[in-house]
Amino acid sequence: MRYLTVGAGAAGMSAAETIREIDPTGEILVYSAEPEGYYSRPALAYYLSREINKKSLFPRESADLLASRLTIRVGQITAILPDQKVVIDSANNRINYDKLLLATGAEAARPPIEGASLDGVVYLDSLAETEQIIRKSGRRKTAVVVGGGITALEIVEGLLSRKVRVHFLLRKEHYWGRVLDPSESGIILKRLEEEGVVIHRNTTLEKIIGKKGKVSGAVLSSGQTIGTDLVAFAIGVKPRRDLLETPGLKTQRGVLVNQYMQTSIKDIYAAGDTAEIYDQQTQSWVIDCLWPIARQQGAIAGKNMAGKKTPYLRRSPINVTRLSGLTTTIIGQVGSGDEDDEYSIVRGESESWQLMPDAVICQNDFEVNRLRLMVGREYLLGAVLMGDQSLSSILEELVVNQIPIGEIRDQLIEPGADLAGILVHFHEMRS
Ligand SMILES: Cc1cc2nc3c(=O)[nH]c(=O)nc-3n(C[C@H](O)[C@H](O)[C@H](O)COP(=O)(O)OP(=O)(O)OC[C@H]3O[C@@H](n4cnc5c(N)ncnc54)[C@H](O)[C@@H]3O)c2cc1C
């Protein structure tokens, strides 16, 4: 039996490792378009901000890879011939498979604006691109960062740590307005301003000016021109489409999969950022751009590929991340219903967060600490917790496991309620 995974990221490697646990003898080929193979994409932000070194990006030692007997090949797969059960690589080699996994991830959206192909336009998307940002940034330089969402903020913070003067362009008044409310956005932007970031609200980038093929300036919609040699975009991601034109493969934005991570073609599976899955809870097709979810989906795909039929049970997605130095938990449906953004999803985000549920919004603030709850009729449908994280695991349990909150619902929605106190007491009574 030959298993082939296209992609050596979170989903591809998780599938390969899971297959090996079930099938000790099958051949497992993992293709990576990047020479670096398997590394932590979320950790690129910490590499940029100098909090970790390059070695820490790699979650597996060579010995682990040897022990699991995976064959990792660097190469770009360019086509799939499902009738022949063959893939073709960029050197025109034909490679047979019995079971195939598409785990090619997502790629950063590239804006169609003048100057976008100049040297000095960068993305925090891959290890190679992160190293490009590092090479181009340095003390006393000026950079322009465009975007809203986790990655844009990570670029801003990474550049700040390298003593770069940063202009941050927001298309709207608030930062990441599809997911955060104005108060949460305000806390983050205030902290950035205190660190010297120049925030340009309701501003887009009109064009990038160049000199001898390199970025030399950025013209904003306000009419202002900023002299800079670095323009970073983090305006969203899209499932990588290279292989999505395969005849018979059903796709929308990504590859459609059922609960066994099977695509519309026999013996071809998909997982991770490239997969689009039907969510029973919200009755909608969703993409999650989250590392743990890519690992989980990869593991489920791997089990099914190796013959152990296992459904993927999608639960409310959670991320505990850092926004402008503040640890923040985002879980469930917390959106504002603001759908005006050009690109719909950013790295480290779930589309579910953008949904505005039928819920009463309750919130408490204390200095930079903030708690926002989306209180549904029977359950907590979502929550955002900034700063103090002591409630994080309680919220995760209540939202993910859909614990009935009938006993405390009236208390929670009472104006001025001590939300944390009520939740802690409820948790203690249940345990
Ligand atoms: C800067 C940054 C910050 C992030 N922050 C967070 C966060 O805070 N929390 C979180 O949960 N997630 C975060 N993410 C998202 C997370 O990294 C992704 O959701 C996850 O990596 C998706 O895994 P994947 O396996 O689907 O795709 P990827 O990890 O993108 O892997 C895709 C693989 O496919 C290979 N490939 C692509 N096309 C081909 C081809 N044609 N042939 C051969 N190989 C191919 C690539 O080389 C790569 O090995 C972040 C990502 C970035 C970049």
| 283 pLDDT tier (thresholds 50, 70, 90) | confident
What pLDDT was estimated at residue 39?
Answer: 97
| Cα(182)–Cα(177) distance, integer angstroms | 7
What pLDDT was estimated at residue 194?
Answer: 97
The finding on whether 102 has its CB within 6 A of some atom of ligand 1 is: no
Percent of the chain scored above 70 by pLDDT?
98
Q: Which residues pair with 232 in a beta bridge?
A: 122, 145
- If we measure between CA atoms, which residue out of 285, 276, 286, 277 comes closest to residue 240? 276
| 356 pLDDT tier (thresholds 50, 70, 90) | confident
How far, in Å, is the centroid of ligand 1 from the Cα of 27? 24
The finding on whether 398 has its CB within 6 A of some atom of ligand 1 is: no
| Cα(390)–Cα(380) distance, integer angstroms | 17
Angle between helices 392-400 and 419-430 (to 10 degrees): 70
Helix (H, G, I), strand (E, B) or coil at 164: coil
| Distance from the Cα of residue 108 to its chain's centroid | 11
Query: What confidence tens digit (pLDDT) does each residue in 374-408 have?
Result: 999 999 999 999 999 999 999 999 999 999 999 99
The finding on whether 319 has its CB within 6 A of some atom of ligand 1 is: yes
What pLDDT was estimated at residue 287?
Answer: 93
How far, in Å, is the centroid of ligand 1 from the Cα of 358? 32
Does the structure show a pLDDT above 90 at 32? yes
Of 40-54, 189-203, 218-232, 350-364, which range is least confident? 350-364
Contacts of 21-24 with C-beta under 8 Å, sequence gap 24+, read 22/302, 22/303, 22/306, 22/307, 22/308, 23/306, 23/307
Q: From atom 38 of ligand 1, which residue's Cα is the shortest distance away?
A: 104
Give the full edge-to-edge strand order of the sheet including 94-96.
Answer: 77-81, 86-89, 94-96
How far, in Å, is the centroid of ligand 1 from the Cα of 38? 10
| Cα(72)–Cα(317) distance, integer angstroms | 30
The finding on whether 130 has its CB within 6 A of some atom of ligand 1 is: no
pTM metric for this prediction:
0.94
